[in-house]
Chain A
Amino acid sequence: GEDVEQSLFLSVREGDSSVINCTYTDSSSTYLYWYKQEPGAGLQLLTYIFSNMDMKQDQRLTVLLNKKDKHLSLRIADTQTGDSAIYFCAENPMNYGGSQGNLIFGKGTKLSVKP
C-alpha cells in the first residue's frame, strides 16, 4: 500500500540550512511534492519534482530525489523565521487514480526556526 514517512520535528537557527527528509513506497509515483502549511492556513505548493529527475532547484529550495531508495529531501537555504511551518511530502501513486493527481501525504514535519 501507499505510505509516506517523514520525521515529525526539525529545529534550526535562523540563517542555517534546513533539510527535511521523506521516504515513499510507491515507485509508480510520477511526481513528488512538497507543501507548506502555516498555522490555521491551507496548503501551499512549494515545489514538485518529476520522477525522472534527480534534483530541482528553485531559489532557496533544493529538492533531491533518490528513486532507487525512494527518498526525497527538501533543503531550504538561509532559513528564516517565516519558514516556520509544517512541511508535507506527498506522492501521487499511479495505481491510485494518479492520473487525476490524487495525493498521499506524509504526516508532516514541523520546522521551527529560532532567531
Chain B
Amino acid sequence: DTEVTQTPKHLVMGMTNKKSLKCEQHMGHRAMYWYKQKAKKPPELMFVYSYEKLSINESVPSRFSPECPNSSLLNLHLHALQPEDSALYLCASSSRGYEQFFGPGTRLTVL
C-alpha cells in the first residue's frame, strides 16, 4: 500500500462549526505533515509530526489543532475558522525525510 488517503474530499463549514480532517497512511512512515494550499499558490507547511510528536508548528493560528493518535493517522481539528481559511488541505507522509508522498487533499470552504 503506497497511498496516503484523506477524508473528506470536500468540506463546507460555517464559522462556528467544529470539524476534523483525517489523513491515513499504512506505509510505516514516521513523519506526517499538514500543508495548506490556496488557489494558484504552492503548498505551505503548517505542521510536522515526527514519531507521533509535534516537531514543527509554522505559527499556525490556534483555530487549527493537529493530532497524531498513532503512527498511521493524522487529524486536523478545525474550530471557528474564517472564510480566508478556505483552501486545499494536503497531508503528506515520509519515511526517510526526503521522499514525501501526498494525499489527494480536502477542499475546505468556510462560509
Kindly state whether residue B77 has any CB partner on chain A within 8 Å. Answer: no
- Please determine whether A45 and B98 come into contact, CB atoms closer than 8 angstroms: no
Seen from chain A, the residues whose Cβ lies within 8 Å of a Cβ on chain B are 30-31, 35, 40-45, 48, 88, 92, 97-103, 105-108
Q: Decide if B42 touches A107 in the complex (CB within 8 Å).
A: yes
Inter-chain contacts of A107 with B (CB < 8 A) = 41-42
Query: Assuming the A-B contacts A97-B55, A100-B50, are A48 and B98 also in contact, with contact meaning beta carbons closer than 8 angstroms in the complex?
Result: yes
Query: Digit string of B1-44 for contact with A (CB within 8 Å is 1, else 0)?
Result: 00010100000000000000000000000010100000001110
In the complex, A105→B90 CA distance in Å?
14
Query: A97-B55, A100-B31 are known contacts. Are A43 and B102 too (CB-CB below 8 A)?
Result: yes
Whether B94 contacts A101 by the Cβ 8 Å rule is yes
Q: How many A-B residue pairs have C-beta atoms within 8 angstroms? Tell me.
A: 60
The answer to whether B79 has its CB under 8 Å from any CB of chain A is no
Assess whether A100 is in contact with B97, with CB atoms less than 8 Å apart: yes
Shortest CB-to-CB span from A56 to chain B, Å, is 14
Interchain CA distance A69-B56 in the complex, whole Å = 30
Given known A-B contacts A100-B55, A101-B94, A41 and B43 have beta carbons under 8 A apart: no
Interchain CB contact under 8 A, B42 and A105: yes
The answer to whether B56 touches A102, judged by C-beta atoms less than 8 angstroms apart, is yes
Pairwise interchain contact A101-B42, C-beta atoms closer than 8 A: no
Give Cα distance in the complex from A108 to B88, angstroms: 16
Query: How many angstroms from the CA of A115 to the CA of B37 in the assembled complex?
Result: 30
Q: Are A99 and B97 in contact (CB under 8 A)?
A: yes
Could you show 23 A-B contacts with beta carbons less than 8 Å apart? A31-B98, A42-B6, A42-B90, A42-B104, A43-B43, A43-B90, A44-B102, A45-B101, A88-B42, A92-B97, A97-B55, A100-B94, A100-B97, A101-B94, A101-B96, A101-B98, A101-B100, A102-B45, A102-B56, A103-B100, A105-B42, A106-B42, A107-B42
Residues in B with CB closer than 8 Å to A92 are 97-98
- Whole-angstrom distance between the alpha carbons of A108 and B44 in the complex? 13
Q: Which residues of chain B are within 8 angstroms of A40 by Cβ–Cβ distance?
A: 107
